Structure 1
Amino acid sequence: MYVDFVKSNFRPTSKELELLQSQELIELYENIQQKGGHHIQYYSEQYNVFQSQEKQEFLNLFCKYLLNFELNKTNVDGQYLQRCAYVEIDKALDCFTESPEKWLKKDQAILWSMPQDVIDKLNKDLFTFSDLVKHHKNQKIDIRAQNPFTDTIEAKEGDFYQAFTMSIQQYKDYVEDPIAFLLNNTNYRKDKVYQAVNVDMENWKDEIQRLFDFFPKFFLLNNGLKYLRQNCKGANVPEIYMRAANCWIGGQQDFQGMSQININHGPGDCLWTIIDACHVDQLLKIIPDLYKKEGRWYVNITYFLQNKIPVKQVIQKQGDILIIGAGSFFQAKNIGNSIHTSFNFLMMDDFSMQQIFLRQIRNDNFKLWSVIAIRNLFLDIFIHEKLPILREYLTYFIDQELERQLSKSNPTQFKLFISSKDVLICTKCYKEIFIFFQFIKDWVIYCPDCYIDDEDIVYMKYHIAQLRCLIQADRVQCSKLLCSNYVGETTCELKQQLKLKVQINPEPNNRIVDSRQLLDEFIVGLNIESSNSHNQQNGSTVDYVYNGKKQHKKIQEKIAMMKLQHEKLKKHKKCEKLQDLKVIKYIQKTKQRILN
């Protein structure tokens, strides 16, 4: 049995041989085999005999010798196999009430199993394949065809990037009876599995409300993404995925390096492989083009153990919440059919900020689109949360912008842009605009890397001197030149002042011109809400950008019309004093008509 294998391929000590032939180890090994699993699977379970200190010697033998025997390989180092952290039932209440910085920082992969009655309440009438069809059966969803047997780092376009479109009804039919579905739909191949990815649930109000009611409140209250200037699908707006058995998520980091929360609504299980952020550089040395092929490959855990990269594996069952820490690397493969929802979480601690910064630098170096406008987000968090580490990162980003500008051969003049609070995206490369940009016409915007030579005016979102003073100041106050209309409940004092201003009756000498200042502030919010679709998701198309231009043009026309109407009111009703509250209500109604 395994003793002969160990003797032939290794040099065990006499004490190790004695333990290998002991009846206790033989019974332990047979028990693991009877459960249908291998050492990796057994060791990764929430509860097993290896948790006890007295079994440490047996654990060492498994990692050193028996794992090699099971895999029939001699170059696997089981010492690099790590365990995922689990939220024990008696500690669950602490996790609900304590800030995640106290319990998530230590462990980069945490599995949190919910009681069955809680799972039933979460899924009831909303998160089963039948419920999805009942509420959204005709909604079109993106489908990816995958090779179910992919186990190689050599990415092939045919293994992942075959794109299809189905309705949710069609995907349910495929999941429940693949053979019948493939017979009736000959354009799909039998040797592939099909996964529904990035399903848009932005307008699924009931489902989103259920998720937010279910998750611990600190995921919402202490989430740095509340400072986003616009909603972003998959980040602060949950996304839903539907997966058939053998579908896989290719090896990747979160595209912005943030923590990720994933819940398995079932019914099937999902196998996750996770590498902590501190070990990702080791993987990058082995795979230099790691970030160029993200999501396109899946490998067995053996690959990581052979290359001596510390790795964890965990089976996520129905109702399990998997929390993956900032900057961690992960991949997943479905054991059965399942539905998943996920969104990002930004812990405002130094480690998380460091991982997000490093990921942004790599996105820039590899010319990858960013999902979130990180530079603007860092600025907003720094203004309101005063995190010292962000001073360093913002200085880097500002110096980077200045170096680009100084490298331009043609002299230019600078102008401050009136809508500086908007999240602006380069029309050509889809990168985030931080400070400098060109505004051509019809809402065509270029970043410093994409400037055109015949334009001699460069606009600024922020005055460069103001930013430099800002990041060096010990105290920073909210300002309408810097703050924005954030999507979440923040500590922004400007927003509170505006609410109070709305509630106070105007003085007798208030005129419509004073209210026009409020109008300009609300125009910023109007632009932000109408730009929600500009969230820089991977896979943006020309039609997508064209629709964004049309929307912005429509907004500008509405704004001009609103100003004209105010001028008429001023001319014909000179004696009538308009209250700020009435103006704001009028703007809100107009804003709603535009968005609708």
Structure 2
Amino acid sequence: MYIEYVKKNFQPTASELELLNSQEIIELYEYIQQQGGFIKYYSQQYNKFQSYDNNEILQLFQKYLLNYELRTTDIDGQYLHRCAYIEFYKAINCFTESPQKWLKDQVTLWSLPKDVFTKLNKNLFTFQDLSKNHRNFEIDIRAQNPFIDTTLAKEENYYQAYTMTVKQYKDYAEDPKSFFYNNPQYKKDQVYQAVNVDMEEWKEEIHRLFDFLPKYFSRNNGLNYLRQNCKGANVPEIYMRVQNCWIGGQQDFQGLSQININHGPGDCIWTIIDANHIDKLFHLMPDLFKKEGRWYVNIAYFLQNQIPVKQIIQKQGDILIIGAGCFFQAKNIGNSIHTSFNFLMMDDFSLQQIYKRQIRNDFFQFWSVIAIRNLFLDIYIHEKLTILKDYLKQFIDEELRRQLSKKHLTRFKLYISSKDVLICTKCYKEIFIFFQFIKDWVYYCPDCYIDCEDVIYMKYNIIQLKCLIQADTIQCSKLLCSNYIGESKCTIKQTLSQKVQLQDQDNSSIVESRQFLDEFLVGLNIESSNSQNQNGTSHQIDLLSKDKKQIKKIKEKITMIKKQHVKQLKYKKKEKYSDLQVIKYIQKTKRNILN
């Protein structure tokens, strides 16, 4: 069978030939072929090669039999690795311990018991239930060539955009023949997947997901320090795919860890490269980051180029945890529904991968998805992580150098209403410290400045930031802290949480929440003005010299908005507000005040 092939193409030792001729190897090879081949078999949670006693047999498959199976001589099976699997008896640890203790590998698969994922899916996460609950909800569709196997990023293979309703996609997934007959605008030789479906308003689905996941994913998540919700990051997104749909080779756009749940019914095959080996892949493909997501290759491509790679079969009820900075691609074996969101584990390695990805995003001039510089600053203020000190110093110095290189001299002002995330109107990059603000709420980053403007605004006092990096202890401050969206260590945020009781109750809770928010904003103005008086650098930094007038103006606007709120209640029946409505009301009020 394979003996002649091995002799012809390799130089096996006498002992290896003897073992290859043994009945044990012959029977094992036939059994593995029945299971779908060596790569698929070896990647399974339980296989014969887990035993150290079988290490010699494993080497034979990696060196010779995999080459015979694929009919090629340039495959090095030693670069095929396995992901980590969470054993059933260890699952309780995942609910009681921090992820840092049980996430020991960059790729981890956790299989939920059948009765558990049945309850997770019940009435929510099947094609039928999604169609029933969100029938006319419009979703983005990506058309793909189903049989692509190339690193070339061709537009016709990857991206042609459509929209469907959830009901239409359910019809397509269940009966494509009838769907194509009734919808001739779609091509039969392509497959269609629903991507980045926004779940922000799907409260029941989101609550169900987090009820079934370890609380540490929400409690100990660095994304709790985000200043606004980001779809797909801290707000889950849902994907619907049919057989042969694929996710092109890519790294998470911000280098974050990713949690992906397969709700079934079909399987999905993932190919993943640890973050440690991304540079080797980047060296092989210098344009890797320019064509992310637009190409898909067989796992043999990585083995041929001696890049360590893992293959994972994600079945219904499997939770796949992809570590920070990992490269991945996926292809559907059957129809399936997936939910996905990001997780920031605040360890040195994860933060390092996020930083490296941000530098690459800057180099390739990619848009900002998450304001990483602001996020790092907020994490550093509250978590005191040493590794962030150097990163922040580089970010701050970079801003200063860029500002000092400008030919046109300007005045600096601390802009008190810039605590929310600001994105440049022109290039869509994150604004960290310096920016221009032009009427009609147009923001420009230092790279997009208009030279004729005489004033440059700052989100933070640059002197305070420099001192902050050198400080041994850091206290929460209304000048530095923001209203974070998650559960954090910010004492100001904790005070706000005590004031705002997010429970179904009458409108008095909203008024109380607004009053505290008013105090927060006025206090922020006072502290900003006091800071300027202490610094005494009015020529270089103008921190709102007319502080009293500004505070009076804000108070007048607060009074006006309160009157409008009372007036509206006269014409509207008193009703109960959900958690989300309270949050939205506060955010909207804040924007109105700052306008």
State the TM-score bracket (shorter-chain normalisation): 0.7 to 0.9
The counterpart of 1:257, out of the listed 255, 258, 281, is 255
Could you tell me how far apart the structure 2 residues matched to 1:90 and 1:587 are?
40
Matches within 5 A, 1:113-512: 113-498=111-496
Letter in 1 for 2:207: Q
Number of aligned residue pairs: give it: 537
Secondary structure of the residue aligned to 2:278 is helix
Give the Cα–Cα distance (whole angstroms) in 2 for the partners of residues 595 and 472 of structure 1.
Answer: 33
Query: For structure 1, which runs of at least 5 residues remain unmatched after alignment?
Result: 504-514, 526-556, 569-585
Query: How far off its partner does 1:34 sit?
Result: 2.4
Contact 1:241–1:341 at 8 Å: present in 2 too? yes
Task: Write the letter of the residue equivalent to 1:437.
Answer: F
Listed as ranges, the matches of 1:8-157 within 5 Å are 8-35=8-35, 37-104=36-103, 106-157=104-155
Report if aligned partners of 1:6, 1:69 keep a CA contact under 8 Å in 2: yes
Deviates more, 1:338-347 or 1:491-500: 491-500
For residues 335 and 415 of structure 1, what CA distance do their matches in structure 2 show? 57
Q: CA deviation at 1:562?
A: 3.4
Q: Secondary structure at the match of 1:422?
A: coil
Distance 1:268 1:590, change over 3 A: closer
| CA distance in 2: counterparts of 1:39 and 1:412, whole angstroms | 66
For residue 538 of structure 2, what is the aligned residue in structure 1? none
- SS of 2:283's equivalent in the other structure is helix
Give 1:498 shift.
4.8
Taking the aligned partners of 2:324 and 2:379, their CA distance within structure 1 comes to 17
CA RMSD of aligned residues (A): 2.5
Counterparts of 1:367 and 1:501, CA distance in 2: 42
1:590–1:45 CA distance, 2 compared to 1 (3 A):
closer
Residue identity in the other structure for 1:427: T
CA displacement 1:487-531 (0-9 Å, x = unmatched): 11111112334567899xxxxxxxxxxx98951636999xxxxxx
Q: Residue in 2 aligned with 1:544?
A: none
Q: Please give the per-residue CA displacement for 1:200-229, whole angstroms capped at 9, x wherever unaligned.
A: 110000000000101011111111111110
Letter paired with 1:337: N
1:3–1:412 Cα change, 3 Å? same
Distance 1:150 1:20, change over 3 A: same
* Residues 1:524 and 1:360: Cα distance change in structure 2 (over 3 Å): farther
Is this contact kept in 1: 2:499–2:516, CA < 8 A? Answer: no
Secondary structure of the corresponding residue to residue 468 of structure 1: helix
Offset at 1:184?
A: 1.4
CA contact (8 A) 1:422 1:524 kept: no
**1:593 Cα offset (Å):** 7.8
**How many Å separate the matches in 1 of 2:352 and 2:474?**
22
1:215 to 1:287, Cα distance in 2 relative to 1, 3 A: same
Name which of structure 1's ranges 557-566 and 260-269 shifts more when overlaid on structure 2: 557-566
> What TM-score do the two structures reach when normalised by structure 2?
0.86
Distance 2:231 2:435 in 1: 25
Distance 1:54 1:501, change over 3 A: closer
The one-character-per-residue Cα deviations of 1:433-465 (angstroms, maximum 9, x if unpaired) are 000000011000000011111112100000100
For 1:278 and 1:587, locate their aligned partners in 2 and report how far apart those are by CA, in whole Å.
Answer: 40
Letter paired with 1:164: Y
Q: Which runs of 5+ in 2 are unaligned?
A: 502-513, 525-552, 565-581
Separation in 2 of the partners of 1:590 and 1:226? 18
Residues 22 and 348 of structure 1: CA distance in aligned 2, closer, same or farther (over 3 Å): same
Distance, in Å, in 1 between the alignment partners of 2:445 and 2:269 is: 41
| Contact 2:222-2:346 within 8 A present in 1 as well | yes
Q: Give me the identity figure in percent.
A: 70
Residues 490 and 45 of structure 1, relative CA distance in 2, 3 Å threshold: same
- Write the deviation string for residues 518-572 of structure 1: whole angstroms up to 9, x where unpaired: 51636999xxxxxxxxxxxxxxxxxxxxxxxxxxxxxxx999753446799xxxx
Q: Distance in 2 between matches of 1:188 and 1:73?
A: 38
Conservation of the 8 A alpha-carbon contact between 2:361 and 2:367: yes
- Name the CA shift for 1:292/1:520 in 2 (closer, same or farther; >3 Å): farther
Q: CA deviation at 1:370?
A: 2.1
Question: What pairs with 1:545-564 in structure 2 (closer than 5 Å)?
Answer: 561-564=557-560
Task: Supply the distance in 1 between the matched residues of 2:232 and 2:561 (Cα, whole angstroms).
Answer: 39
User: Residue 2 of structure 1 aligns with which residue?
Assistant: 2
Shift of 1:161: 1.4
Q: Is the 8 A contact 2:106 2:274 kept in 1?
A: yes
In structure 1, the residue matched to 2:547 is: none
TM-score (norm 1): 0.86
